[in-house]
Structure formats: structure tokens, C-alpha cells
Amino acid sequence: MRIIAGQAGSLRLSVPPSLTRPTTDRVREAVFSSLGTKVEESRVLDLFAGSGSLGIESLSRGAASAVFVDNNAAAEKAILANLRQSRLEGARFVRRDVISYLSSAPTDTFDLIFADPPYARDEETGELLATLLQKESLSASLKPDGILVLESFAKSPLPEAPLWETVKEKVYGKTRVSYLTPTV
């Protein structure tokens, strides 16, 4: 896996062993192509960050800052190594469960929020996705013209999400990418 474009383009990224399902280069390239200039000077929140590929790609493409949230020690180690290697500035790592992080009502607001939770293939991961989309603090963390980019399992429908409007959806193999904006 590598950074696709920008200041750190072509940089190979470390991936935590067997704990994550990293966003593929193909999907990341499509996401950032869809976002276009929205990335430049943006404030980014990367939830369930894993290797940090989405936030690091954002920084490489000119984002002003990125906050990485993951509760796994191996993910923390990989993200911090990737940030050191990339020499990109404006990054902060928070080692915490995503739902707990959001429950503390973050005071920051973001232009882009990436969320790549474990795919909803069973009841537990389906409930996690539903809980995430029901968090008012998640929609409150997004600036009025911001976008939530959510990855999920293509074969499982998104749960009811009255706080969110789906602007666009694309499927890439087993991955669905949904672009959401707050309804409020």
C-alpha cells in the first residue's frame, strides 16, 4: 500500500498485521478524485484509522491537519511510523475507541471525516455502524459544508441514518463508499 499523490506520493505505508482491512489504492484514488479540491487546506478526522492511509493521503494532498483515532496499539505504531516516514505536518493521534471519542463530544470541527469501521458482516459490527451513524456528536463535528466518507461492506445495506443524507455512493468490489452530509 502506498500514498497515491501529493507531497508524499509513492511512499509505502506500514500496515498493522492482520488487524485492519486497509483501504486499497484503487478505492483511495477514487475517493480522492471525487473529493477533488475539498482536501486542500481541510481539517480531517480519520476514524478507525488503521494504517492512517486516508488521513496521510489527505495531508499529502494539502490538508491543513488530520486527527487519527484508533484504539489499537499496533495501529498507533503503524500510523506514527508512517507519519515519521512521510514527514508530513499537522497530524495528531488519539488512542481511543471511536465511539468513546465521539461520546466525549469533540470540540473540533472538520471539513472531512473518514470512517472505515469493521465491515458489518455480523450483528456486532452492524450495531457498531448503526451506533456510529446515530452519534449526534459525529454530525456536529462536521462543518456545514463538510463530508463524511464512510466505507462499508457492499453487500450489507447501511442502517437507518436520520442524521445523514447520502449524497453519493459507489461500490468497488466488496467495498461501498458513501458520501454523507448532515441533515441538520
Q: Give the chain's count of helices (H) and strands (E).
A: 6, 7
Domain chopping of the chain, boundaries? 25-155+166-182
Q: What is the pLDDT of residues 5-39, one digit of tens each?
A: 777 666 777 787 765 566 777 888 999 999 999 99
pLDDT tens for residues 126-145?
688 889 999 999 999 999 99
The grid cell for 175 is 467495498
- Among the listed residues 63, 60, 50, 114, the one whose alpha carbon sits nearest the alpha carbon of residue 87: 60
Per-residue three-class SS string for 70-97: ECCHHHHHHHHHHHHHHCCCCEEEEECC
125, pLDDT greater than 70: no
* pLDDT tens-digit series, residues 33-70: 999 999 999 999 999 998 899 999 999 999 999 999 99
Place of cell 445523514: 164
25, 33 Cβ separation under 8 angstroms: no
Mean pLDDT in residue range 146-158: 90
Neighbours of 124 (CB within 10 A): 9
Q: Does domain 25-155+166-182 have CATH number 3.40.50.150?
A: yes
Mapping DSSP to helix (H, G, I), strand (E, B) and coil, where does residue 171 land? strand
38 CB-contact burial (10 Å; exposed 0-12 / middle 13-18 / buried 19+): middle
Residues in Cβ contact with 118 at an 8 Å cutoff, skipping those fewer than 6 apart: 21, 48, 125, 128
On whether the CB atoms of residues 51 and 79 are closer than 8 A, the answer is yes
